[in-house]
Each structure stands twice: as structure tokens, then as C-alpha cells.
């Protein structure tokens, strides 16, 4: 694989990492968003295959695992697989850009282990689980049981904060986007 830098944003679901990543990619032409593969159903009517995710059938996903086509993958929830395709990273590097990931905490740790010093791993932290619950409810994309499952997982994921290079506390979204911009540009400009 050709090589560039990678920037990993990880957080419990609902922490704001996707909004921060979208802001960075829109603002910086040197960044390319890594589209993850997954086996879950599309949320609502707005998600698109090849834009938000590569939506695969479970047997397609497992076939790609067998062929070693993933940088990392995991079964995030029972029956729901997520992963980063090697071809997706290569697509972005071939375009002369740095790769930006928006992944869950375990995926972020695995990506950091894979790319080592070529990666900046950012843990996006919410001020509290209560605020996280409020944000998940405001999305109106998940059932109560799904939100409960996400909160249970978030509590566990927060214990891995120290495995990331830096923590970004997302209290004010505008300030968090500015801080993310500073962190990413400093990392990209390091020699």
C-alpha cells in the first residue's frame, strides 16, 4: 500500500465525532474520508451506499475477511460487522490525500496499532453519559433499546481513553471543530 498519514477520530456513538470529521473533510482538501464497510441496515432515508458506508450482506463481509481485505474489522453489535477496507485507504492515498477515520473506540485502537506513528488517534469525549443520552435521543434514529445498548457500550468505551494520542472534549461543537482543525494540521505538518 502507498503511504500517507491517517487521522483517527473515535468515540462512543453520539459524541459528535461524525460532525467534527465532516467539518474537517469539508474544510480541508488534503483530507479524504474513509468510508467504512458494515452489515447493518441503512438508518432512515439519507444514508447512501458508497457515501456513508459500504453496506454489505454478512456473507459478503465474511468473504472479505477470509480474503484479508480489511485493515481492521469487528462485530460491534451481535450480527453487525464494521470494518475498514484496505482498498478504501489506498483509494484516498492514491488521490494524494491523508485518510480521516470516523470509527468506534475498538476500531480506533486497532487502526492506531496498524498504522503506528503514521496515525494520530483522537478520542472525542462527551462531558457526561447524561449528555450522551440526550444527544442519542435527539438524533431520533435509534429505538429505546438501541440507545440503552449504546449507553452501556459507551460506559465501557470511555475506559479506553488513555490509549489514544489526545482527548478532545466536545462541550461546544464550534470550539471542538476548531481544536480538531489545529490538532490535524499540526500532525499533518510534522516531518
First to last CA, the chain: 20
pLDDT at 1: 52
Lowest mean per-residue pLDDT among 37-51, 60-74, 77-91, 96-110:
37-51
The pLDDT tens digits for 20-72 are 999 999 999 999 999 999 999 887 778 889 988 999 999 999 999 999 999 99
CA contacts within 13 A on the Cβ side of 76: 27
pLDDT at 130: 79
**pLDDT(178) > 80:** yes
The pLDDT tens digits for 3-16 are 789 999 998 877 88
pLDDT at 2: 58
96: left (phi over 0), alpha (psi -120 to 50) or beta: left
Q: What is the pTM of this model?
A: 0.86
List CB contacts of 146: < 8 A, sequence separation 6 or more: none
The pLDDT tens digits for 116-171 are 999 999 999 987 777 777 767 776 666 777 777 777 787 888 889 999 999 999 98
Please give the sequence-ordered ranges of beta strands (E in DSSP) within 66-131, or none if there are none: 70-77, 80-85, 98-103, 119-125
**pLDDT(74) > 70:** yes
Exposed, middle or buried by CB within 10 Å (0-12, 13-18, 19+), for 138?
Answer: exposed
Amino acid at each position: 500500500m502507498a503511504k500517507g498519514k491517517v487521522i483517527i477520530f473515535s468515540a462512543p456513538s453520539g459524541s459528535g465525532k461524525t460532525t467534527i470529521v465532516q467539518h474537517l473533510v469539508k474544510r480541508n482538501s488534503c483530507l479524504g474520508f474513509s468510508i467504512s464497510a458494515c452489515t447493518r441496515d441503512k438508518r432512515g432515508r439519507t444514508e447512501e451506499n458508497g457515501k456513508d458506508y459500504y453496506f454489505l450482506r454478512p456473507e459478503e463481509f465474511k468473504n472479505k475477511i477470509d480474503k484479508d481485505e480489511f485493515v481492521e474489522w469487528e462485530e460491534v453489535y451481535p450480527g453487525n460487522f464494521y470494518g475498514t477496507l484496505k482498498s478504501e485507504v489506498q483509494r484516498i492515498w492514491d488521490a494524494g490525500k491523508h485518510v480521516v477515520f470516523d470509527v468506534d473506540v475498538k476500531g480506533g485502537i486497532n487502526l492506531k496499532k496498524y498504522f503506528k506513528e503514521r496515525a494520530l488517534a483522537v478520542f472525542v469525549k462527551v462531558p457526561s453519559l447524561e449528555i450522551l443520552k440526550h444527544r442519542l435521543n435527539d438524533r431520533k434514529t435509534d429505538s429505546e433499546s438501541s440507545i440503552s445498548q449504546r449507553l452501556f457500550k459507551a460506559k465501557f468505551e470511555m475506559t479506553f481513553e488513555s490509549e489514544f494520542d489526545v482527548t478532545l472534549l466536545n462541550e461546544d461543537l464550534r470550539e471542538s471543530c476548531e481544536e480538531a482543525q489545529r490538532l490535524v494540521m499540526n500532525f499533518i505538518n510534522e516531518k
